[in-house]
Amino acid sequence: MTSIKEKKDLGIILTKSPHESSLTNQMLTLATAIIKQKKSVDLFLISDGVWLAKKNPSAKYTNSLSLLQKKGMRIIVSNDHLLAAGLTSTELLPHITITEKPYDSLVDHVMTEWNRVITL
Amino acid sequence: MEQGDNPMTIKETEKQRTLTILIIKGPYVSESADIALKTALRAHRKGYIVNVFLYLDGVWLSHLTSDKTFNNPGDWLKRVLRKGITVNMCERCANARDLHNQGIIENIRIPGSYELINLLSNSDKVLTFGG
C-alpha cells in the first residue's frame, strides 16, 4: 500500500493549556502569519496543550482554530493526554486527528514531515 | 515511497539524521522533562541519532538519583542513558546550582556551552522542552 507523507513547512508543538499563558494567542498569530505566506503548518497538541482541542464556543481561539483548519492546518492530539485530561473525542473540535501513539507520531512528524518545528 | 514498502520503516538515509532535545525546565514542575525523554527514547528506537542536553533548570534532572514510588523523570533519564543516548549537561548551569559529578546520575557528560552550540549546529532537528 502506498503511503505518502505530506510535508509541511512548520510544525508547532503546544504543551500548554489555552489559559495558562499567552502562548496560545502567540501560536495562533504565528500559524495565521505562516498560512498568509502560503506556507503550511501543523499543530501537535500534547500534555496540557490538548485542552486547546476542546470545543469551547465562547472562546475566541475556537473560531481562529476552525479558520486555520479550513485553510489547511492539521491539528493532531495525543490520545494519552486526552485520557489523562478526561476528555473524550465527542468533546473535541471536529476534524481533529487523534494519535494513539503520540511519541511515534511526534518523532515521525518532526523528522520526516515538518521542515521546521517550534515547541511552545 | 514505493508500493509494498512498510510505511513505518525508516529509510537508511533517515536513520542517520540527528535529533537534539534540549530540556530547560526541571522535573515535576511540568511534564516537559517526561515528554522530552520519552521522545528521545522513541526517536532512538526508530534509528535516529539522539542527543539530550540539560540546560538551565533542566540540569536538576541529573539530581534524581534515588528510586521513588511515583513517576520519576530520573528513571526516564537513566533509561535514556542505558540505551546509549548521549546526555550532556551545561557545566555553568550545573555549577550555578551546585550540581557536581558526585551526587548526580552517572554517565552524564558535563561540557561547556560550546558543546550546545556544536550540537545545535550539527543536528537536523532540535526540540526544546520547558519553555
Cα distance between residue B75 and residue B90, in whole Å: 20
A120:B131 CB<8 A: yes
A23-68 pLDDT tens trace: 888 899 999 999 999 999 999 999 999 999 999 877 888 888 999 9
Cα distance between residue A72 and residue A42, in whole Å: 8
Q: Is A87 helix (H, G, I), strand (E, B) or coil?
A: coil
Q: Mean pLDDT across the stretch B99-113?
A: 89
Q: How confident is the model at residue A11 (pLDDT cuts 50, 70, 90)?
A: very high
Which residues of B are less than 8 Å from A104 in CB distance? 42, 46
Q: How confident is the model at residue A100 (pLDDT cuts 50, 70, 90)?
A: very high
B41-80 pLDDT tens trace: 999 999 999 999 999 999 999 999 999 999 999 999 999 9
Minimal Cβ distance to A104: which of B5, B42, B124: B42
Report the mean per-residue pLDDT for chain B. 90
Question: Between β-strands B18-23 and A114-119, what pairing exists: parallel, antiparallel or unpaired?
Answer: unpaired
Most A CBs within 10 Å: which of B24, B44, B125, as the mutation test of the A interface?
B125
Quick one: DSSP state of residue A101?
A: S
Tell me which chain A residue has its CA closest to the CA of residue B130.
A120
| pLDDT value, residue B12 | 61
Furthest-apart CA atoms within chain B: distance in Å: 56
Chain A closest-CA separation from residue B129 CA (Å): 7
| pLDDT value, residue A62 | 86
Q: What secondary structure does DSSP assign to A44-70, as a single string? A: EE-GGGGGGGB--TTSHHHHHHHHHHH
Q: What secondary structure does DSSP assign to chain B, as a single string? A: --TT--TTPPPHHHHT-EEEEEE-S-SSSSSHHHHHHHHHHHHHHTT-EEEEEE-GGGGGGGG--S--SS--HHHHHHHHHHTT-EEEE-HHHHHHTT--STTS-TT-B---HHHHHHHHHH-SEEEEE--
| pLDDT value, residue B35 | 97
Which residues of A are less than 8 Å from B48 in CB distance? 107, 111
Which residues of B are less than 8 Å from A107 in CB distance? 19, 39, 42-43, 46, 48
Q: How confident is the model at residue B10 (pLDDT cuts 50, 70, 90)?
A: low
Residue with cell 508500493: B3
**Residue A87 and residue A47 in contact, taking contact as beta carbons nearer than 8 Å:** no
Minimal Cβ distance to B125: which of A3, A4, A111: A111
Minimal Cβ distance to B38: which of A103, A119, A120: A103
Q: Is the pLDDT of residue B100 over 90?
A: no
Minimal Cβ distance to A117: which of B4, B14, B125: B125
Q: Is the pLDDT of residue B11 over 80?
A: no
Q: Is the pLDDT of residue B4 over 70?
A: no
| pLDDT value, residue B7 | 43
Tell me which chain B residue has its CA closest to the CA of residue A111.
B125
A110:B38 CB<8 A: no
